[in-house]
Structure 1
Amino acid sequence: MQAYSLDLRQRIAQACAEPGARQAHVAARFCVSVAFVGKLLRRQRQSGQLAALPGRGGPARCLDAAAQAWLRDQVAAQPDATLAELQTLLLVERGQAVSRGSVWRVLHEQGWRRKKKPARHGA
């Protein structure tokens, strides 16, 4: 999700500074939530800043670079392996228990694509 632009944040803060302005009306006017307006004004009071906070990244990857390379080598050696088989190989050979979704994400990020099943005609 993208952060609201600094320009929009400045216009919201300016609208809230007008005499008689209510947060709910400003929120409706700019199509943002009342909670966002409140948090924006609190941030402005506490730090003097309106800019969005920097991103915090996210959870750490469950497969490090070495495990990802190993997985890529396994797919190259056995291109018809299923996600479940690769998941089992990771557990047995590397001792790493991960979900099938994690296996898929690594392969997908590396450009691996699932082959489409041929269309059935006359069925």
Structure 2
Amino acid sequence: MDKPHPVELREHAVSLVAQGNTHTEAARRLCVSIKFVNDMMRLKHETGSLAPKPQGDHGRCKLTGVKGWVERRIAEQPGPMINSGRRSAMSANCSQTKSATTSSKQQDTEPIKRDAL
């Protein structure tokens, strides 16, 4: 999410409209969207303030339920959370698969002897 526009810009947009400019003219002069000017006028009318609304999830993120578990895991294993044991096991499996594949290909490409038939 982008940062909110500065309060000074918000105030300037409202003051331009209050001076008799249209929302379109105010938006053009300030290089902002017409929606921004409309939103600022609505915000000023509804709340009496032009302060930006608080941003962020405020504890409603997807991982809130597992926060304690993550903190315990980090405390147990400080440092990078890369599971090096799993990587080495995967590497070993890949090399075994490659060697098995290579040997079977070599067997398939060897010429068949007539005596074996």
Question: What is the TM-score normalised by the length of structure 2?
Answer: 0.54
- Report the equivalent of 1:27: 27
Matches within 5 A, 1:1-123: 1-19=2-20, 21-57=21-57, 59-62=60-63, 63-65=66-68, 67-72=69-74, 75=77, 80-81=82-83
1:71 Cα deviation from its structure 2 partner: 3.1
1:51 Cα deviation from its structure 2 partner: 1.4
Structure 1 ranges of 4+ moved more than 6 A: none
Provide the aligned length of Structure 1 versus Structure 2.
81
1:57 Cα deviation from its structure 2 partner: 2.5
1:74 Cα deviation from its structure 2 partner: 6.5
- Aligned partners of 1:79 and 1:47: how far apart in 2? 46
- Opposite residue 24 of structure 1, the aligned amino acid is T
Question: What is the TM-score normalised by the length of structure 1?
Answer: 0.52
1:75 Cα deviation from its structure 2 partner: 4.9
Instruction: State the identity as a percent.
Output: 19
1:81 Cα deviation from its structure 2 partner: 1.2
- Aligned partners of 2:82 and 2:30: how far apart in 1? 52
> What is the CA deviation profile of residues 29-66 of structure 1, one whole-angstrom value per residue up to 9, with x for unaligned ones?
2121111110110111122111112225254242312x
Change (3 A) 1:51 1:75: same
Query: The residue matched to 1:64 in structure 2 has which SS?
Result: helix
Of residues 28-37 and 50-59 in structure 1, the stretch that sits farther from structure 2 once superposed is 50-59
1:80 Cα deviation from its structure 2 partner: 4.9
Q: Are 1:15 and 1:26, in contact at CA under 8 Å, matched by a contact in 2?
A: yes
More helix by share: 2
User: Aligned Cα RMSD in Å?
Assistant: 2.8
Unmatched segments (≥5 aa) in structure 1: 86-123
